[in-house]
Structure 1
Amino acid sequence: MSEIETPFDEPPVEEEEYAEEEEQEEEQEDDAPEEALGAAPAGGSLAMALGEAPDLGEVAEIVVLATSLGSIKRQFFSSKRVQHFLDCKGVVYFLIDTNRDLSVAMNLKDTELYKEWKSQGILRTIENPNSETGEPEVALPQVLVDGVVLGGENDLQELEEDGDLDWIFARAACPCCLHEKPPEASSCASCGAMFTSLIPAEVQASGGVQQMLQGYTYNSVEDGAGERLKERWASGLQQADFEWDEGKRQDTEGEAEE
């Protein structure tokens, strides 16, 4: 009796063919060149690069022009926020205080440097309708990197969020146009910005400016200056705690006598 063929009696699909195709696809993927993490895409923004930020071994000269004068609260508190931001970043920066009284009291060159930069026109200015002379006033605070104005508080935050700030501080990007550049370049090939040092070496060596690192005075010439400042700061806290406890104890004794 002959066997009856049914629609289900089709020849089985050969699984070996599918296995060979999968192996060929895997080999092609393995042979494809891998892109290095952290490399900036060709023709793209530095902020679009994947991976870690550039090595901060080459750090630009960062200058913060601020004020400790509390009469204009907006400038005063904004100056504090900019300093705190850079302290959190862990970079060394020069703090130039436009408060003349503080500069004289601490025997600093801040006022002289501020007047020199203002006369050279390298600082960012804003229109002041209340000015008696009608001249624009210098915007405070503002940050300068290698002699180029980077901006104020909001500019720093935007550059940080876009991922460009570390490239600028590492001298891998122009602080003016954000174009990629070599760290040793004296000018930007894209926008023509000139890079220069604003703090003379002799002023820095003589301690004529405040060099800050994470909230403490940083001086590479005098060893241990930062540690002594930390000890003085800690002793000041202990003295304040003692005075507060002593006052509280006296108040408690007075209440007990009553």
Structure 2
Amino acid sequence: MLESFKRFFVGQAPAPEWADVAEWAGKRSLHFKRVHEGEGFVVDGRLDDRPWRMEWGPPQRAYIAGRELRIRMELKLPGDLQMLLLSKPLMDQLERQTYENFTEGLQTQIDTSSPEEMRWLVMFPKLNLNGYRVLRSHFGMVASAPPTGLAWIEGPLGLHLERALGTLLQNDPPFVLMTLRGRAYLRTQLVDPDPASLAIALDLFETAVAQALRVAQHLGDSAQEWPSTGSTAWQNFDDSKPR
């Protein structure tokens, strides 16, 4: 009751305006919009006439604390082009959690209530990143067809990831970059959405998009060279040891 009277007389604290983010978006001809009650914001833009959306606010994944930055884009990629790169500490965390959920729940299969990030760690093979000295210490990868995943991070995307380790991805925060159902997604923990961090994230995402389209084109031209190893059902989880 006392808190109600305080709010009545004092009023609610003003919601953040994110003026610096709005200014950053305006300079790039992007559309900025605050979400209801000031819990975050949305930025819409286009890349080569394809729309993308950036969202910042409360996390949609339990493994992210505080606030989350999300970017997604429809690319109409082949449905079997399924690639996942994530920060190494997050990969270890999700593997442990998946193993614990499986053993404690006496499950025989990984159910669909878990996010794709967890299911794919069971479904798809891990990629050997030994050829990427810097990346292998900070990231893990799985893919329905390993050659496509390695082709994805080869060149520009790998270089952008290395550079981001000194800025946006410093200290290895929870970070996910994936292609799923024809779309590209980026998701990371970001407590302070300063324009510099948003610009780095967007640049990284756009590079990932360009490389995913390149891989998809190669996949279409050389379907026999990069066969899909994906499964139409979740594979059984081996409970003898964590993956």
Q: Tell me if both proteins adopt one fold, taking TM over 0.5 as the criterion.
A: no
Q: Which of 1 and 2 has greater Rg?
A: 1
**TM-score normalized with structure 1 length:** 0.30
Higher strand share: 2
**TM-score normalized with structure 2 length:** 0.31
**Bigger relative contact order, structure 1 or 2 (CA pairs below 8 A, ≥6 apart):** 2
